[in-house]
Amino acid sequence: MMTLERPLTKNIKPNTPPMGLHAYQAAGGYEAVRQTLGRVAPADLVEMVIQSGLGGRGGGGFSAGRKWQLMPDPKADPGPRYLVINADEMEPGTFKDRLLLEGDPHQMIEGIILSAYAIQADISYIFVRGEYGTAITRLESAIGAARDAGLLGRNILGSSYDLEIHVHGGAGRYICGEETALLNSLEGRRAVPRAKPPFPQISGLWGRPTVVNNVETICNIPHIVLRGVDWYKSLGLDGESGTKIYGVSGRVKSPGTFELPMGTTLNDLIEHAGGMREGYQLRAVLPGGASTAFLLDDQLDIPLSFAGVAKAGSRLGTGTAIILDDRTCPVGMLHNLQHFFAQESCGWCAPCRDGLPWVERILAKIESGQGEMSDLALLDDIAGTLGPGRTFCALAPGAMASLVSGLTYFRAEFEQHIHTKSCGWT
């Protein structure tokens, strides 16, 4: 059996502090920086990332290199340019970026140096979820060590390239996962999404060209640079490139994160988590966090890629599967998720601000035994109103993904709650 390569997590050991600078360098760390700065043209580095097939790992899947390519030529638009790392990991059921930040912060820093060099940014901000205190502490320590070693600051390794990295702890809002709301928060303003266009690559942080990338996306860059495009493409399955940090939560034997080939099937992922616990059967899965649509137990052979999951009617999202078992009430699960989304609406547009709390109240009414059949039609109607293209950003449409699929697949359970005036699962 072929040994799986796990470049993103090879340095991470459970319950062990992360590698310090010297250990990281001894394991090959920062070698990609030494081989690239002042030796490879930034445009060639961008092209390498395009050819690698690396898609954004934050949920969208858009080509990382193509995103970088949208930055204007620095000669035509001189002035500050920014690379912002989205580490505001607040999607329910998602915890992959925390693993990377806490377990191997120097990998994150090396990826930032290479990525910032590619887009010719001179300042980078890591926008970290405020509750990730350990990650913030370890990042700041690693940044200090890298600066002392001449890997950050002015004239890095004699290359004439300058870069500073700053860690910014977020105030704790789900909407900051949306890149333009994140930029507003970073500027000290209310965290609400901006109209696009202009896109951040043209007018982002403080009106300057800015790229916003996810933690996992950036951590891939050193490995692509050091080992090449062909190697990186060979890691994936079903025509995909690289590996992916997948997660599993719910009543499986070993919930957690697993670095596996991009395109691994949902069934294989669940097997890596040890399968279902004794006495429980899998009924459905949210394949990419709480803002994705349910997949049923007869769809476990689909590849966990952006295209594969979309073909099955859902989204890969963050790649962190939430398992619904046969002894958990789907109505209660959906109520819990919609309660979260209602709390986290930024209030910028009326459909989301008013619609999500309305959905949450109806679900609470059904769960408490006060529901009526007309409530189901009302939920269907509201879900349509909050669908794609009806709101300012994707928060409400994402929230509706699990609800709409839940209303479709678990209609009988909703009707049972209404007819019996109780939940038969408790």
Tens of pLDDT along the chain (426 residues)? Answer: 456 899 999 999 988 999 999 999 999 999 999 999 999 999 999 999 999 999 999 988 899 999 999 999 999 889 999 999 999 999 998 999 999 999 999 999 999 999 999 999 999 999 999 999 999 999 999 999 999 999 999 999 999 999 999 999 998 789 999 999 999 999 999 999 999 999 999 999 999 999 999 999 999 999 999 999 999 999 999 889 999 999 999 999 999 999 999 999 999 999 999 999 999 999 999 999 999 999 999 999 999 999 999 999 999 999 999 999 999 999 999 999 999 999 999 999 999 999 999 999 999 999 999 999 999 999 999 999 998 888 999 999 999 999 999 999 999 999 999 999 888 765
Extract the tokens encoding 251. 């009543």
In angstroms, the Cα distances linking 115 to 59, 120, 324 are: 19, 8, 38
CA–CA dist 256, 251 (Å, integer):
11
**CB atoms < 10 A from the CB of 144, how many?**
12
Is the distance from CB of 85 to CB of 124 less than 8 angstroms? yes
CA–CA dist 403, 331 (Å, integer):
9
Is the distance from CB of 85 to CB of 108 less than 8 angstroms? yes
Instruction: List the one residue out of 253, 295, 313 whose CA is nearest residue 278.
Output: 253
pTM of the model: 0.95
CA–CA dist 165, 183 (Å, integer):
16
Domains, the chain: 21-233 (3.40.50.11540), 240-324 (3.10.20.600), 330-420 (1.20.1440.230)
- Residue 147's contacts (CB-CB under 8 Å, 6 or more residues apart) are 153
In angstroms, the Cα distances linking 367 to 83, 284, 325, 420, 423 are: 45, 20, 18, 11, 6
**CB atoms < 10 A from the CB of 391, how many?**
25
User: At CA 78, angle to CA 72 and CA 82, rounded to 5?
Assistant: 65
Q: Is 63 exposed, middle or buried (0-12, 13-18, 19+ CB in 10 A)?
A: middle
Question: What does DSSP assign to residue 63?
Answer: B
For residue 330, is the peptide bond before it cis, meaning its omega torsion is within 30 degrees of 0? no
User: At CA 90, angle to CA 300 and CA 176, rounded to 5?
Assistant: 125
- Residue 328's contacts (CB-CB under 8 Å, 6 or more residues apart) are 251, 283, 425
Is the distance from CB of 425 to CB of 332 less than 8 angstroms? yes
Q: Name all contacts of 308-314 with Cβ < 8 Å and 24+ positions apart.
A: 308/238, 308/263, 313/405, 314/286, 314/287, 314/288, 314/401, 314/405
CA–CA dist 132, 169 (Å, integer):
8
Alpha-carbon radius of gyration of the chain? 22
